[in-house]
Amino acid sequence: MWKELLSSIDCYYDEMVDMRRYLHQYPELSFQEYKTAAYIADKYEELGIPYQSQVAGNAVVATLKGGNPGKTIAIRADFDGLPIQDEKDVPYKSKVAGVMHACGHDGHTTTLLTLAKAFKQVQEQLSGTLVFIHQHAEELAPGGAKSIVDTGILNDVDVVFGTHLWTNTPYGVVQTAPKEFMAGADRFTITIRGQGGHGAMPHQTKDSIVIGSQVVTNLQQILSRRIDPLSTAVLTIGTFYSGSTFNIIADSATITGTVRTFDPKLQNQIISEMEQIIKGTCLSNQADYEFNYEKGYPPVVNHPEEAALVLKAAATVPGVNKAEEVVPSMTGEDFSYYLLEKPGAFFFTGAQKEGHFYPHHHPKFDIDERSMVLAAQTLIQTIKLYQEKI
């Protein structure tokens, strides 16, 4: 059965490419993925696999019960796009202005639908149950994962696996980590309220741009001087908006950014340090401020046994030339919510296009489409090994 499954994925490659390119042309933003969800539901209708639609929003969850008793294994893929204009010069570029699949979610969806099709062909030989979770809104907090978990979908699930097609990693390489794998991802907004005025009379003002610039600079001291150098964290300023024209001193300034951590204690320390620095800087400049900090997705923390199983499984896939343990990534993912609920592991499947590498969330982002085959085959072998160990 297992050799048949691996071979079937190879046979489905052209179909996978067509499906992925169709989805790539018609992306939808987080929480607005109505047509994509309907497309996924239609595929399960064609396959004759029972499914639930509109789970916790736009999610689609399909369930395939095997002919033999066994454990219940969930596999998750996301399907939302990003508010980015597609700048690739390819026939399958996005046809939706200002929206594109710039993170590989079209490939994730294709991989999971193809897995479902392959397993449907061997349903009577299959032991246990497979749950295919197609998740909406991974890109935009609060995200879709937590709301899906809150419905109780995972109540009868024994283990959960997921993969991300990863263009930072070369094709043919599979990567994961035994514990912390991806960081918790938070966001913050700082509003400085000074006193605007004429650019020729700065002494009559409280310059919000100058004060905001001091805040930005002072915040960098948190990582360099206020936390243990052996701790891991990121504090990034993403935007700074202020001013209206060249000869007016700005009345206010708005700063936004992100903090990434693995340790909740460190996360809380950074929040406290930020508050003190912002307050002190504004106080010394006689300005007011607002500081809004939103805790986002928790860190993705794999379960060691399941992570080891993924690497062992990947090493048996013919197209995988390296299955390796790596240091954690500071990027975030709401797959974390599944791992807080059940044992499991998340892993990267190398999807870097040789000679055409663009990072995730880039306007020219694209994947090596062969990576979808390796992702599907690695998941097949992971399911096989999981069943054999029981």
User: Which residues participate in catalysis according to the annotation?
Assistant: 80, 138
Distance CA 103, CA 361 (A): 6
User: Strand 159-170 and strand 173-176: pairing?
Assistant: unpaired
Distance CA 268, CA 256 (A): 18
Amino acid of residue 74: A
Let me know: does 23 contact 42? Beta carbons within 8 Å: no
Q: What Cα–Cα distance (Å) separates residue 62 from each residue in 120, 136, 295, 336, 371?
A: 12, 14, 31, 21, 23
Let me know: does 28 contact 133? Beta carbons within 8 Å: no
Residue 92: name the closest of 110, 78, 75 by CA.
Answer: 110
Distance CA 65, CA 7 (A): 22
- For 293, the enclosing helix (H) or strand (E) is strand 288-297
Beta bridge partners of 273: none
